Amino acid sequence: MVSHRELTIAVVLVTFALPAWADPALFEKIHKRNVIEIVLPGGECEARVVRRALDELTVKLKSSTSACGSANALMTLSRSNLRDVVDDRGAMGYGPRRSGAGQCAAIGSALIVPAGIAVGILTRSPWASLGIFTGGGVATGILCNKATRYTVFVEQIDRAP
C-alpha cells in the first residue's frame, strides 16, 4: 500500500513534470507587442505581434529562417491555420520556448534582498526594510510580467498584404 507521504511526493513530481497547458482558445490572449514562437511543420521562428484582428495576427519576424522567411518581414497568422497555442509564462530556464520570467524574478530578488537588508541596518527600522521588500517585489512582478510568451503551432503563415 502507498503511504500518504509517497502519494504526496508523486503528485508534486507529476505536477512539476507537466508541460505548459496547450489550448487553441489562448489565441485571444495574444496581444499587440507580445513575443511569440511560431512552430510550422518545416521549422520555427520568433516574432513580435504588430497588429491584432479578430481571427488573425500580423507579426514581424525577429530573424531570418528557412521556415518563416526573412527578418523584419510582416507575416499573417490566421486562426484557420492554427493547430494549438501554448502559454509559456510558467516555463522558466533557457531554450527556444522558455520565457525569461524566472530569470527576471531571480535577478530582481538578488537585487531586492541586499537592498532591503542594507536599508534596514542603516535606518534601524524593520518597517523601512519591509517597504523595500514590498516595493521591490511589486516592481519585479510588473517588470517580469512583460516576459509573457506564447508558442503558436500553425499549418502555414502568409505574407502580410
Are residues 114 and 44 in contact, defined by beta-carbon separation less than 8 angstroms? no
The residue with cell 542603516 is 122
Long-range contacts of 41-47 (CB under 8 A, 24+ apart): 41/155, 42/66, 42/67, 43/67, 43/68, 44/68, 44/96, 45/69, 46/96, 47/75
Are residues 11 and 66 in contact, defined by beta-carbon separation less than 8 angstroms? no
Are residues 33 and 49 in contact, defined by beta-carbon separation less than 8 angstroms? yes
Are residues 135 and 55 in contact, defined by beta-carbon separation less than 8 angstroms? no
What's the confidence (pLDDT) of residue 60?
A: 94
What's the confidence (pLDDT) of residue 28?
A: 85
Distance CA 108, CA 100 (A): 12
Over the stretch 82-107, which tens digit does the pLDDT of each residue have?
888 887 655 555 555 555 666 777 88
pTM above 0.85, yes or no: no
- Characterize 120-129 residue by residue with b for buried, 16 or more Cβ atoms within 10 angstroms of its Cβ, and e for exposed: beeeeeeeeb
User: End-to-end alpha-carbon separation of the chain, Å?
Assistant: 64
Over the stretch 42-61, which tens digit does the pLDDT of each residue have?
888 999 999 998 888 999 99
Low-confidence ranges of the chain (pLDDT < 70): 1-24, 88-102, 145-148
